[in-house]
């Protein structure tokens, strides 16, 4: 048996067969989803009965099980999510991966003994974010895939365990911040229904011809596991709950082999699934066109030939434990066998041995039978055999003792886990109906200060990017009426803190935040946090959580329908005009495809729709905007909102003035639009 080091190998399981594939190829833990509230809703997923069987099997192998309850929830789903948390406690689930703060609040109240893991959908990628998770009592943080090795290292040792994706699909957008699938087809990635719209043709030079400007190659960091371990990473995560068991086996085996200094079959790994190969670009800070790739015909046809060999990888259980055996057979006493793996032991007894009539059983024969552990997770390291003279013991009896001892050892391992207490009386999930306001107060968001030049904003609250604070104040506008917004992905948190301190000296006090790390930073600097749409708030319990943390206002998720109102004692708003940012990425799709010199500041999809791209190169990020703006000027009466954001992105000052006037007067849209 190979002695494997930590960190943990965490494998995806989209169905029961994938569990066997993961276990037999070296997984230390698996993650899976139930029928509801999983970010991979279209995976096979698990019924309660299948989940119970999977947990039992994994715990017998000494393998942890984490349940992904990682979608955002609506108010009418909270009770069902609470029931799923109860089931997790009953089944002794080792941890729950969550995105929605409602899950956090329910678990904290009803089952504080349940370990919580912050999903990558929470967009945690900075020391402030990990520290915020630590203060919340979160055991583990699944950090953003876009991080470099040095950035990952800066997050380790801050309290929570750090989990890093080391193999699998790589999204173009920062997880939790993608609205492309929802905007194009109404299928929300934050609700587990991502349609993979980024894998469709997009071009930076007009209508695409076999160009995939938003499709990255798959991630593979198998050659960097030692570096990640030295950095302090606790868990190596493999993506792929939508993939077949053979993929799970090949990827798990590759990580297991790499961790133990063994060669792994790179071609086999690529054949089972890849998009024109693999990339490690984010980790080694080598961005650009080499990171991009699409699923080609040669990728598809390679898979069938690789499958038979991969199936053989998980045909038998992995030898996880070495056993010491103590066998005793003395005339007049029942036989006994003790098996020990160094931590647990099991002792079973059999019949009284008989005197041999012809030939006596030898120690070598007993040792041979005890070593027959094929089909189990054990191998025999040594045996001590106490054998009286002249005894006969049948091979079947020795085998029976061995099988019973192995079963008891498995049961002892499973019984190490205890159910977690769940107090349903601690939950309060009834919320009053939202109030109906006649019209929300209009708030103006601008990407450029010049967009405000033809609008009288004297008594209007405005929102501008932090980078424009000095220009805003220099133009004579009032900082006390302005909210500074932070980028939803912060490539330089230290610089952000310095900018905030300078803005504070200019008279700014309110800051819009897109993740829990930014809320912590803003509060630590003595400023007032407001909640941006990047927090993905879709229910009343999550909203109450943020207000309890000192957030002054909340912009609700753009995926929340007007009919699905949120009830909360604080000020709630939504984006009611604008080209919604559908993606935020560290890799510029235009620069990768055609270079900065040929930049047209937009992408075109196969239908001819044009999606503007905002270049924030100094901040290390880029944003893809929707092809059409949201327009609700003629639909504002009766919406349950305190305020609505008019978000100016690519509009001119003249356009901005016309839009503002139209919203004041409740006019219909002058051109193509979406209701959001």
Structure confidence by residue, pLDDT tens digits, 4-38: 458 999 999 999 999 999 999 999 999 999 988 88
Asked if residue 354 belongs to a domain, the reply is yes
Instruction: Kindly state whether residues 296 and 332 are assigned to the same domain.
Output: no
**pLDDT-based confidence at residue 568 (cuts at 50, 70, 90):** confident
Instruction: Kindly state whether residues 486 and 448 are assigned to the same domain.
Output: yes
Instruction: Kindly state whether residues 341 and 382 are assigned to the same domain.
Output: yes
Q: What is the mean pLDDT of residues 268-286?
A: 92
pLDDT above 90 (res 565): no
Asked if residue 429 belongs to a domain, the reply is no
Asked if residue 188 belongs to a domain, the reply is no
d(CA 54, CA 20): 9
Please tell me the total count of domains within the chain.
Answer: 3
Tell me which DSSP letter residue 351 carries: P
Q: What is the pLDDT of residue 475?
A: 95
Instruction: Kindly state whether residues 245 and 341 are assigned to the same domain.
Output: no
* Tokens matching residue 139: 């055991």
Of 395, 414, 433, which one is at a domain's C-terminal end?
414
Q: What is the mean pLDDT of residues 308-312?
A: 91
pLDDT tens column, 185-214: 888 888 888 888 999 999 999 898 889 999
**pLDDT-based confidence at residue 3 (cuts at 50, 70, 90):** very low
Asked if residue 529 belongs to a domain, the reply is yes
pLDDT above 80 (res 41): no
Q: What is the pLDDT of residue 2?
A: 44
Instruction: Kindly state whether residues 65 and 165 are assigned to the same domain.
Output: yes
Instruction: Kindly state whether residues 273 and 346 are assigned to the same domain.
Output: no
Of 288, 314, 340, which one is at a domain's C-terminal end?
314
Instruction: Kindly state whether residues 289 and 332 are assigned to the same domain.
Output: no
pLDDT above 80 (res 327): yes
Q: What is the mean pLDDT of residues 418-441?
A: 84
Asked if residue 494 belongs to a domain, the reply is yes
Instruction: Kindly state whether residues 163 and 265 are assigned to the same domain.
Output: yes
Instruction: Kindly state whether residues 410 and 483 are assigned to the same domain.
Output: no
Instruction: Kindly state whether residues 113 and 238 are assigned to the same domain.
Output: yes
d(CA 589, CA 214): 6
Asked if residue 295 belongs to a domain, the reply is yes
Question: Cis (ω within 30 of 0) for the bond into 555?
Answer: no
Asked if residue 29 belongs to a domain, the reply is yes
Q: What is the pLDDT of residue 1?
A: 44
Q: What is the pLDDT of residue 436?
A: 63
Q: CATH number, domain at 227? A: 3.20.20.380
**pLDDT-based confidence at residue 569 (cuts at 50, 70, 90):** confident
- Grouping H, G, I as helix, E, B as strand and the rest as coil, residue 240 is coil
Nearest to 177 by CA among 200, 161, 198, 201: 198
Nearest to 528 by CA among 544, 515, 509: 509
d(CA 216, CA 198): 9
- Grouping H, G, I as helix, E, B as strand and the rest as coil, residue 35 is coil
Range of 344's domain?
321-414
pLDDT above 80 (res 434): no
Of 314, 335, 355, which one is at a domain's C-terminal end?
314
pLDDT tens column, 109-161: 999 999 999 999 999 999 999 999 999 999 999 999 999 999 999 999 999 99
> Which are the contacts of 525, defined by CB distance < 8 A and separation ≥ 6?
497, 500, 501, 504
pLDDT above 70 (res 563): no
d(CA 593, CA 214): 10
Instruction: Kindly state whether residues 129 and 262 are assigned to the same domain.
Output: yes
Phi and psi of 381, rounded to 5°? -90, -40
Question: Considering the chain, what percentage of its residues have pLDDT values greater than 90?
Answer: 81
Q: Which of 205-209, 283-287, 341-345, 527-531 has the lowest mean pLDDT?
A: 205-209
615 pairs with which residues across the strands? 622
d(CA 282, CA 228): 13
Q: Which of 90-99, 213-222, 406-415, 422-431 has the lowest mean pLDDT?
A: 422-431
Q: What is the mean pLDDT of residues 469-478?
A: 96
pLDDT tens column, 658-667: 999 999 999 9
State the chain's mean pLDDT as an integer: 93
d(CA 243, CA 226): 26
- Contact criterion met (CB below 8 Å) for 641 and 567: no
Q: What is the mean pLDDT of residues 403-429?
A: 95
Helix (H) or strand (E) holding 82: helix 78-90
- Contact criterion met (CB below 8 Å) for 71 and 38: yes
Asked if residue 599 belongs to a domain, the reply is no
Q: CATH number, domain at 569? A: 3.20.20.70
Q: Which residue has the higher pLDDT, 560 or 90?
A: 90
Instruction: Kindly state whether residues 337 and 310 are assigned to the same domain.
Output: no
* Tokens matching residue 210: 């076999």
Residue with tokens 């749409």: 533
pLDDT above 80 (res 59): yes
Query: What ranges make up the beta strands (E) of 455-559?
Result: 462-465, 482-485, 510-513, 528-531, 553-555
Q: What is the pLDDT of residue 43?
A: 65
Q: How many helices (H) and strands (E) does the chain have?
A: 20, 30
CA atoms within 13 A on the CB side of 535: 34
d(CA 51, CA 663): 51
Residue with tokens 């670009």: 281
């Amino acid at each position: 048996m190979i002695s494997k080091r930590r960190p943990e190998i965490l494998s995806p399981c989209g169905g029961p067969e994938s569990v066997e594939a993961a276990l037999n190829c070296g997984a230390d833990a698996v993650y899976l989803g139930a029928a509801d509230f999983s970010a991979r809703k279209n995976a096979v997923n698990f019924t309660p009965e299948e989940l119970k069987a999977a947990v039992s099997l994994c715990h017998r192998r000494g393998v942890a099980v984490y349940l992904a309850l990682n979608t955002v929830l609506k108010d009418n789903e909270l009770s069902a999510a609470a029931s799923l948390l109860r089931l997790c406690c009953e089944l002794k689930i080792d941890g729950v991966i969550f995105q929605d703060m409602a899950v956090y609040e329910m678990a904290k109240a009803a089952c504080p003994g349940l370990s919580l893991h912050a999903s990558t959908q929470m967009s945690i990628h900075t020391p402030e974010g990990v520290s915020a998770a630590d203060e919340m009592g979160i055991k583990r943080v699944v950090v953003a895939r876009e991080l470099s090795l040095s950035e990952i290292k800066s997050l380790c040792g801050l309290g929570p365990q750090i989990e890093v994706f080391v193999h699998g699909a790589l999204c173009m957008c920062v997880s939790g911040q993608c609205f492309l699938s929802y905007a194009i087809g109404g299928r929300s990635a934050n609700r587990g229904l991502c349609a993979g719209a980024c894998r469709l043709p997009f071009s930076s030079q007009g209508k695409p011809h076999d160009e995939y400007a938003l499709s990255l190659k798959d991630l593979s960091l198998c050659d960097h596991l030692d570096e990640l371990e030295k950095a302090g990473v606790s868990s190596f995560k493999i993506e792929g709950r939508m993939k077949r068991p053979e993929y799970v086996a090949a990827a798990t085996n590759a990580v297991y082999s790499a961790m133990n200094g063994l060669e792994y079959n790179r071609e086999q790994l690529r054949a089972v699934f890849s998009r024109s190969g693999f990339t490690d670009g984010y980790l080694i800070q080598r961005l650009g066109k080499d990171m991009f790739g699409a699923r080609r015909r040669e990728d598809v046809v390679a898979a069938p030939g690789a499958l038979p060999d991969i199936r053989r990888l998980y045909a038998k259980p992995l030898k996880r434990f070495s056993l010491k055996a103590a066998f005793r057979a003395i005339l007049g006493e029942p036989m006994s066998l003790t098996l020990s793996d160094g931590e647990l032991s099991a002792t079973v007894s059999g019949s009284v041995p008989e005197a041999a009539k012809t030939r006596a059983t030898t120690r070598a024969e007993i040792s041979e039978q005890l070593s027959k552990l094929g089909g189990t997770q054990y191998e025999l390291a040594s045996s001590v055999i106490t054998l009286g003279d002249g005894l006969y013991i049948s091979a079947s009896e020795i085998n029976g003792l061995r099988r019973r001892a192995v079963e008891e050892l498995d049961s002892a391992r499973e019984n190490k886990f205890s159910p977690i207490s769940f107090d349903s009386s601690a939950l309060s999930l009834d919320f009053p109906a939202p109030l109906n306001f006649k019209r929300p107060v209009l708030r103006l968001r601008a990407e450029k200060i010049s967009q405000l030049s033809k609008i009288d904003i004297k008594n209007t609250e405005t929102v501008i990017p932090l980078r424009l604070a000095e220009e805003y104040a220099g133009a004579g506008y009032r900082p006390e009426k302005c909210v500074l917004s932070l980028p939803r992905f912060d490539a330089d948190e230290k610089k952000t803190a310095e900018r905030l301190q300078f803005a504070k000296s200019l008279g700014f006090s309110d800051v819009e935040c897109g993740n829990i790390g930014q809320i912590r930073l803003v509060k630590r600097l003595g400023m007032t946090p407001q909640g941006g749409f990047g927090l993905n708030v879709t229910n009343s319990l999550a909203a109450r959580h943020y207000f309890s943390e000192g957030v002054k206002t909340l912009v609700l998720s753009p995926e929340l329908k007007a009919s699905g109102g949120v009830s909360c004692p604080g000020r709630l708003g939504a984006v009611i005009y604008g080209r919604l940012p559908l993606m935020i990425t560290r890799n510029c799709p235009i620069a990768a495809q055609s270079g900065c010199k040929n930049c047209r500041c937009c992408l075109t999809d196969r239908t001819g729709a044009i999606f503007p791209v905002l270049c924030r190169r100094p901040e290390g990020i880029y944003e893809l905007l929707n092809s059409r703006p949201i327009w609700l000027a003629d639909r504002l009466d009766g919406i349950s909102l305190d305020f609505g954001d008019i978000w100016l992105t690519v509009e001119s000052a003249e356009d901005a003035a016309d839009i503002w006037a139209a919203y004041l007067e409740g006019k219909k849209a002058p051109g193509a639009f979406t209701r959001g």
